Chains A and B, each alone.
Chain A
């Protein structure tokens, strides 16, 4: 629940933001790709404590969308799908964005009730509070509400 790098003006960090019924995920970074990686960490942290997740197995993800904000929804929904289908939990992410195309890698391990004590199962990323914007030069913000 706490930002991963709480130091002042970090280059990349994530946070949750309030929604009455569900959870907002937000990533900051110097590029959209870094912000997407951080948003993915925020998503994973809705499920479990990131410190408990071992990056043992990698899953590659490729998505394409006509805009950055749709690409964020697609990226987060791809992660939700892969975690559900593979019964995995991810705790580290790598993203490259080239125009409309995203190539990503999620690292994690099979979900363990005992070690991860997963709290919620995300259902999907929504368009609510959806934004991928450059707040100031070199500071990108990628966010949306996730239905849990």
Chain B
């Protein structure tokens, strides 16, 4: 992307002044090298987002932004219902509430290595992953409805998780105001056998070592100790979320002219927050958030079952669970006053700073944990939200490394077996039902996650706490 198209605000913040139909500026937070590397489509998409009705302050792109659908992936935008603001199915995406959770194990690297292959096999056998996999849990319509309104709390009530987990999940593990009645029969059917499944693509379950600590106080507060291991799970709302995304995207695209909305890109399909369609989507989308929270809680439970076979005393307490494809009603400052805004984070993580009332007490002094997935080879990061992030981008930060190469290009560059063998030589055991899937997710297909998190820190979005490197990776 041509950096000269931006006004430089700092080394890690770049602004596009409003032009044409833009209602607010567009701002990208990233170092110059990352901005230059971004696709031109990111510029087009963030400018288009700035044209949507009721947008507050600015349309933002995070350091890992890349070409998405309507919104860039790594996009953040907030809309004010009192100003005709909209909710956008495209701004949330297909995998509603896709997110990451990290469990502490208290086990050392040496302990994991003593059982590394058997543990990898057991996790791969016990946690359904990949296309066509299905869980042991079959939901009838009544239980589906209970799950869609109960989220992770529903899973805990059914014995798939622990009550203590709930305080470590956004919104206490349950999105309020979910409307299961707004979820179609198609979406319900698509989900009935998919609870507790990982999915495919870039979803994963990893056993990771805390390889480096940048902020010892926050790391201690989060329970992260160098040399100890954690389990990180990345997945979302599975078929139910995909179906809701597809259905509402179409309905909102067709209905936009009836709401007087001229879409700069059909993929930005949206409806006024204060409309029947907008409210129905919010109800369905919140139900999908609950599905994702329940799904990750169940996978956490399955993971605990496997660990108990190898390490009798490993409790695997949940450190934190955070979503990165959502729209949430939050209080933020806009036009000089506190307003309830509908914040869309598409491939972006909420990142509340220290002291935020929504954080559980043990985490509150340090800021919200922000969990950044890297690739199988380069590792992942734990960040903490910064106070400045509120003014920067409604308390938001990046969510991952972002691809630098298409799936097609990755399969031309690497073979799946080659990737598995190379990672094994580096001490990382990869399990996957698909070698082509592994090739598509090869470490080299992703951007340098360090550059992304360094940019996030420099921009005042979130600060680095620890770096995690994989020992076992179960890919979907």
A residues with a Cβ closer than 8 A to B are 1, 16, 18-23, 47, 66, 70, 73-74, 77, 80-81, 84-85, 87, 89, 111-113, 117-121, 123-128, 130, 145, 147-148
Contacts and interface: CB of A to CB of B under 8 A. Distances in A.
B201 A121 contact: yes
A23 B407 contact: yes
Contacts of B94: 123-124, 126, 147
B69 interface: yes
A118 B267 contact: no
Contact of A20 (B39, B239, B440): B39
B131 interface: yes
Ranked nearest first, the 10 interchain pairs of A and B with the lowest CB-CB distance are A118-B131, A111-B132, A124-B246, A119-B436, A123-B242, A123-B94, A127-B266, A119-B437, A121-B200, A127-B267
Interface stretch (B219-227, B249-257, B328-336): B249-257
Contact of B267 (A87, A113, A123, A126): A126
A66 B67 contact: no
Interface string B380-412: 000000000000000000000011111111010
B131 A111 contact: yes
**Listed residue (A16, A21, A70, A77) with the most chain B CB atoms within 10 angstroms of its CB:** A21
Contacts of A20: 39, 66-67, 403-406
A87 B78 CA distance: 38
B434 interface: yes
B69 A128 contact: yes
7 contacts: A20-B39, A21-B403, A47-B131, A85-B190, A112-B132, A118-B437, A148-B201
Contacts of B436: 117, 119
Nearest to A112: B132
Contacts of A125: 246
B67 A19 contact: yes
B433 A123 contact: no
A23 B411 CA distance: 12
Contacts, number: 124
Interface residues of B, number: 50
B68 interface: yes
B323 interface: no
B411 A121 contact: no
A145 B94 CA distance: 13
A98 B476 CA distance: 39
B245 interface: yes
Contacts of B70: 127-128
B186 interface: yes
A70 B253 CA distance: 10
B190 A81 contact: yes
A117 to B, nearest CB: 5
A47 to B, nearest CB: 6
Given A1-B408, A148-B201, A119 B440 contact: yes
A15 to B, nearest CB: 10
Contacts of A73: 250
A80 B246 CA distance: 10
B266 A124 contact: no
B69 A117 contact: no
Given A16-B408, A21-B68, A127-B269, A118 B132 contact: yes
A87 B134 contact: yes
Contacts of A81: 186, 190, 243
Contact of B190 (A84, A117, A126, A127): A84
A73 B90 CA distance: 14
A80 to B, nearest CB: 8
Given A16-B408, A20-B406, A85-B189, A121 B199 contact: yes
Contact of B132 (A74, A87, A130, A148): A87
A121 B440 CA distance: 13
A77 B245 CA distance: 11
A144 to B, nearest CB: 10
Interface string B55-94: 0000000000011111001000000000000000010011
**Listed residue (B68, B200, B407) with the most chain A CB atoms within 10 angstroms of its CB:** B407
A77 B440 CA distance: 23
Nearest to A18: B406
B105 to A, nearest CB: 29
A132 B402 CA distance: 30
Contacts of A74: 250
Contacts of B306: none
B69 A145 contact: yes
B144 interface: no
Interface string B430-465: 000111110010000000000000000000000000
B130 interface: yes
A120 B131 contact: yes
A128 B267 contact: yes
Contacts of B435: 117
B228 interface: no
A66 B254 contact: yes
B419 to A, nearest CB: 13
A113 B132 CA distance: 8
Nearest to B268: A127
Nearest to A77: B246
Contacts of A120: 131, 200-201, 407, 434, 437, 440
